[in-house]
Structure 1
Amino acid sequence: MKTNESVENEGLLVRRIKNGTVIDHIDGGEALNVVKILGITGATQEALSIATNVPSRNMERKDIVKLTNRELSKEEVNRIALISPHATINIIRNFKVWEKKGVEIPTLIEGIVRCPNPGCISNTNEPITSKFEVTSKGLHCKYCDWVITKDLTSHII
């Protein structure tokens, strides 16, 4: 019979993936937001594994998302960086980590975030994309000067 301690030391019982992406070190409780901003629904083709509130040596708790047969674009990685700046992206090919990189929050974000100001020119029919500067106070709209300071997930396009 296994004790609780021996079960905890066995690690996660989530199946390895042959090809795809593992998003690790997601801030605890943010995995479902990551899935949402990647546009993954029950109707999409990739198999998905999610682990939430997993103990971590480097973080109090973390989430993990595994996607089969899908590698993320730079724009998708930038979206993840906005809600989980400590996340790491692991590209898996033939069951091995092919590439591992951390996310980086860009200094200028274009076309990823929607301005919450209904009067902003980026929310009209003008042929422009939203532009935000990343500052210590939050995301600063380059068109109307609004600053988004929290709940970024609801503004990510």
Structure 2
Amino acid sequence: MEKELKVAALKDGTVIDHIPADKLFKVVLILELEKCKNQVTVGNNLESKRLISKGIIKITDRFFEESEVNKIALLAPNAKINIIKDYEVVEKRPLTLPEEIRDIIQCANPNCITNHQPVATRFFVMKEDNEVRLKCRYCEREVKQEEVKIK
């Protein structure tokens, strides 16, 4: 006899799908979902046609701000955000990085002004040959996407 655990459908909320399994808990951490009072369902190492295994997050009655979506895009650029209203997917949003990211990444340069003064960080997003690099507006230090330290 085969048993299957089913997760209830969302009436209203957000589903973050196609998160690489090794990035799922980093996404949970940067979104501070452990502090979220809404119902949160997290699934990891799920079968996927596009990935070897994937993670998924469902959050009831929660919709993300642009800065939160940018954090997700930094960690899991191929993830998808689905907006659910009245049990229907009303929007499927692929993640894309903007040209500039403000105040969500810490500069890796210990001498950068953003690490010593109350100045919001600003990074230019540079894409070249499927590689993303981020360049600090102030000290011009460059880091690879996978090396960024999110605040």
TM-score range, shorter chain: 0.7 to 0.9
Matched, 1:15 2:28: no
Identity %: 37
* Mean Cα deviation higher: 80-89 or 52-61: 52-61
Q: TM-score, normalised by structure 1?
A: 0.84
Deviation for aligned residue 1:102: 0.4
Task: Give, in whole Å, the separation in 2 of the partners of 1:69 and 1:106.
Answer: 26
Three-state SS of the structure 2 residue aligned to 1:59 is coil
Task: Give, in whole Å, the separation in 2 of the partners of 1:32 and 1:46.
Answer: 18
**Residue in structure 1 matched with residue 18 of structure 2 by the alignment:** 25
**Residue in structure 2 matched with residue 144 of structure 1 by the alignment:** 139
Q: TM-score, normalised by structure 2?
A: 0.87
**Residue in structure 1 matched with residue 124 of structure 2 by the alignment:** 133
Deviation for aligned residue 1:113: 0.6
**Residue in structure 2 matched with residue 94 of structure 1 by the alignment:** 86
The residue identity in structure 2 corresponding to 1:156 is I
- 5+ residue gaps, structure 2, are none
Three-state SS of the structure 1 residue aligned to 2:106 is coil
**Residue in structure 2 matched with residue 64 of structure 1 by the alignment:** 56
**Residue in structure 2 matched with residue 108 of structure 1 by the alignment:** 100
Which among 54, 67, 74 is matched to residue 75 of structure 1? Answer: 67
Work out which of the two has the higher radius of gyration on C-alpha atoms and give 1 or 2.
Answer: 1
Three-state SS of the structure 2 residue aligned to 1:30 is helix
Which among 104, 109, 116 is matched to residue 117 of structure 1? Answer: 109
Deviation for aligned residue 1:60: 1.6
Work out the number of aligned pairs and report it. 146
**Residue in structure 2 matched with residue 156 of structure 1 by the alignment:** 150
- 5+ residue gaps, structure 1, are none
Task: Give, in whole Å, the separation in 2 of the partners of 1:142 and 1:118.
Answer: 15
Deviation for aligned residue 1:81: 0.4
- The two structures, once aligned, show a CA RMSD in angstroms of 1.8
